[in-house]
Amino acid sequence: MTAATKTPVVLAIDTAAPRLQLGLLLADGNVDVSIDAIATGHAELIFERIAALLARNSLTYADLTRVVTTTGPGSFTGLRIGLSAARGIGLARGIPVIGVPSLLALSLAVPGASTVLLDARRGEAYFQIFAGPAQPLTEADIVPLVLAQAAVPPGTVVIGEPFVDIALVARHGATADPATHPPEAAYVREADAKPQTAGRVERTGA
C-alpha cells in the first residue's frame, strides 16, 4: 500500500517558539501531542520525542503519510531544526512535507476574525490580519509595535502569544496542498547571522 492510499497519519512539528511541540494525527481522527517547554536543545530531543510519540501509539515512521512543520517567523535556530527534521523524514519516507507559516498557524485557534501581533523585539511586532482561521487578509509583516497596535481592526481577536496549537496544525496540514505550502523558512525579518565578507579577496580569472 502506498502513502497516497494509506489511512492518513500525520506528524506535525513546531520549533519556532521556545517549545518543542509535536502532534500526531491518528487514523481515528484524534491527535496525540508531545510538548517540551525549552528555548534551546531542540536538536538533542526532537527525534527522541518523535520516537516516543510513535511508539506509544504503536506506530513507526513507515506509518506516516505526511509531515507538517511550522515555518516561522521565529527562532532562526529552532526553525532550522524543525524544518531539517521534517524534510529529512519526508525524504526518507517519500511522503509530502507541508510548511505552515506560524502566524497562519496561530490564526487556526480563533473561529472568527483575528489579528496576530507578536513581540519581535527592537520595538517591532510581527503583524498579520485574518478574516478567519487560515484566511489572511494581509501579508505577514514586521512593523513598529506602536503602529501595529494602532492598526488592529475593531472586533478582531488579538493573538499575542507565539505558541501554536499543534493539534490544529496537524489537522490543517493533513489536507493542505503541498504545492502551496512549501517547507521553507518564513523569517519576515532577515536572520541576524549574515555571511562574513569583510576582508574577503575577490577571485579573478580562472
In a domain, 194, yes or no: no
What average pLDDT does this structure show over 31-60? 96
Q: Does the structure show a pLDDT above 90 at 8?
A: no
Pairwise CA distance, residues 104 & 175, whole Å: 15
Burial of 14 (0-12, 13-18, 19+ CB in 10 A): buried
CATH number for the domain harbouring residue 80: 3.30.420.40
Of 202 and 79, which is predicted with more confidence?
79
pLDDT of residue 130: 98
In a domain, 28, yes or no: yes
pLDDT of residue 176: 97
- Give me the domain span that covers residue 63: 10-106+162-180
In a domain, 42, yes or no: yes
What average pLDDT does this structure show over 71-84? 93
| Chain centroid to CA 187 | 11
Band (183; pLDDT cuts 50, 70, 90):
very high
Pairwise CA distance, residues 157 & 97, whole Å: 30
Mean pLDDT of the chain: 90
Q: Does the structure show a pLDDT above 70 at 153?
A: yes
In a domain, 137, yes or no: no
pLDDT of residue 202: 43
Q: Which residues contact 155 (CB under 8 A, 6 or more apart)?
A: 113
In a domain, 113, yes or no: no
pLDDT of residue 171: 97
* pLDDT > 70 in the chain, percent: 88
Number of folded domains that form the chain: 1
How would you label 50-66 residue by residue, b for 16+ Cβ within 10 Å and e otherwise?
beebbeeeebeeebbbb
Q: Does the structure show a pLDDT above 90 at 89?
A: yes
What average pLDDT does this structure show over 111-118? 97
Q: How many Cβ atoms are within 10 Å of 172's Cβ, its own excluded?
A: 24
Band (206; pLDDT cuts 50, 70, 90):
very low
In a domain, 24, yes or no: yes
What average pLDDT does this structure show over 62-78? 95
